[in-house]
């Protein structure tokens, strides 16, 4: 008895999808908890007080060194917000039915912005079909090739998704090979069962007809005794 290959593939892809959402959650939490720490502040002490032996000519005042503070990256909060919004969208997509996924993919079909492209990539990845997964990878490649600020805020997440989609592709290939092997084994078993059934039918046909009764040998004719 063999397991249904499609059921095994669905369970395996569901486990990978759960791992993907967990990884995305960890990425967002790490990004949100990262703050830009200010650099060391260089403070200059005032000149020592005069001791009476100071020359009459006053030295020119030294320029005051301004505190050195590491500039905060303006892209960090933008990136955090974009990733957080995309993660919230991914969670909504995860709960959609197949019909809702199809409708959402149609709605985003003509989207040209990096956000819409990544959203459509998430939708296609939930359909558990290899052609849709390939299209999802192509959409991520477009986002990564885009150098706009909107796209750059999603690049880290897009790279993570691309790696996960690659795992999906490898799993799909393995499942396809296993499915083909299972089908081949099942085909051979079916052929063997057909031959066995044919042999059983022949055996039944032979045993269903009783053998013909053997004919008794003809009785010997007795010669009449001669008259006295």
Q: How many CB atoms lie within 10 A of CB 200?
A: 10
Can you tell me the mean pLDDT for 56-71?
A: 45
Rounded mean pLDDT of the chain?
73
Token representation of residue 215? 């004919």
In a domain, 138, yes or no: yes
- CA-closest candidate to residue 84, choices 149, 144, 32: 32
Residues contacting 146, CB < 8 A, separation 6+? 114
Domain total for the chain?
1
At 115, the pLDDT band (50, 70, 90 cuts) reads very high
Residue 135 lies in a domain: yes
Provide the whole-model pTM. Answer: 0.53
Is position 51 within any domain? no
In a domain, 184, yes or no: no
Examine residue 122 and state whether it is found in any structural domain, yes or no: yes
Kindly tell me if the per-residue pLDDT of 55 is higher than 50. Answer: no
Q: Domain range for residue 97?
A: 14-31+75-165
Q: Is residue 183 part of a domain?
A: no
Residue by residue, what is the 3-state secondary structure of 30-65? HHHHCCCCCCCCCCCCCCCCCCCCCCCCCCCCCCCC
Q: Is residue 83 part of a domain?
A: yes
Is the model's pLDDT at 26 over the cut of 70? no
Question: Which pLDDT tens digit goes with each residue over 85-94?
Answer: 999 999 999 8
Over its C-alpha atoms, the chain yields an Rg (Å, rounded) of 42
Domain assignment present for residue 59? The answer is: no
Give me the pLDDT at residue 145, please.
Answer: 93
* pLDDT, tens only, 153-209: 999 999 999 999 998 888 888 888 999 999 999 999 999 999 999 998 888 888 876
Ranges 121-125, 173-177, 224-228: which has the least confidence: 224-228
Integer Cα distance of 165 and 139 in angstroms: 12
Q: Backbone dihedral region of 52: left (phi > 0), alpha (psi from -120 to 50 degrees) or beta?
A: left
Task: Identify which has the larger pLDDT, 153 or 48.
Answer: 153
């Amino acid at each position: 008895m063999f397991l249904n290959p499609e059921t095994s593939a669905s369970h395996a892809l569901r486990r990978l999808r759960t791992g993907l959402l967990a990884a995305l959650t960890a990425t967002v939490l790490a990004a949100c908890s990262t703050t830009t720490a200010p650099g060391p502040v260089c403070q200059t002490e005032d000149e020592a007080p005069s001791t009476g032996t100071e020359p009459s000519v006053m030295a020119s005042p030294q320029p005051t060194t301004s505190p050195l503070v590491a500039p905060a990256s303006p892209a960090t909060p933008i990136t955090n917000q974009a990733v957080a919004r995309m993660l919230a969208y991914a969670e909504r997509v995860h709960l959609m039915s197949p019909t809702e996924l199809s409708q959402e993919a149609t709605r985003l079909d003509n989207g040209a912005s990096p956000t819409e492209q990544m959203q459509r990539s998430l939708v296609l990845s939930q359909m558990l079909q290899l052609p849709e997964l390939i299209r999802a990878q192509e959409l991520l490649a477009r986002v990564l090739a885009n150098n706009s600020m909107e796209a750059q805020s999603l690049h880290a997440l897009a790279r993570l998704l691309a790696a996960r989609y690659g795992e999906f592709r490898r799993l799909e290939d393995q499942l396809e090979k296993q499915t083909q092997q299972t089908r081949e084994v099942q085909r051979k078993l079916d052929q063997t069962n057909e031959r066995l059934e044919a042999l059983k039918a022949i055996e039944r046909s032979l045993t269903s007809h009783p053998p013909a009764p053997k004919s008794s040998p003809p009785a010997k004719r007795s010669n009449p005794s001669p008259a006295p």
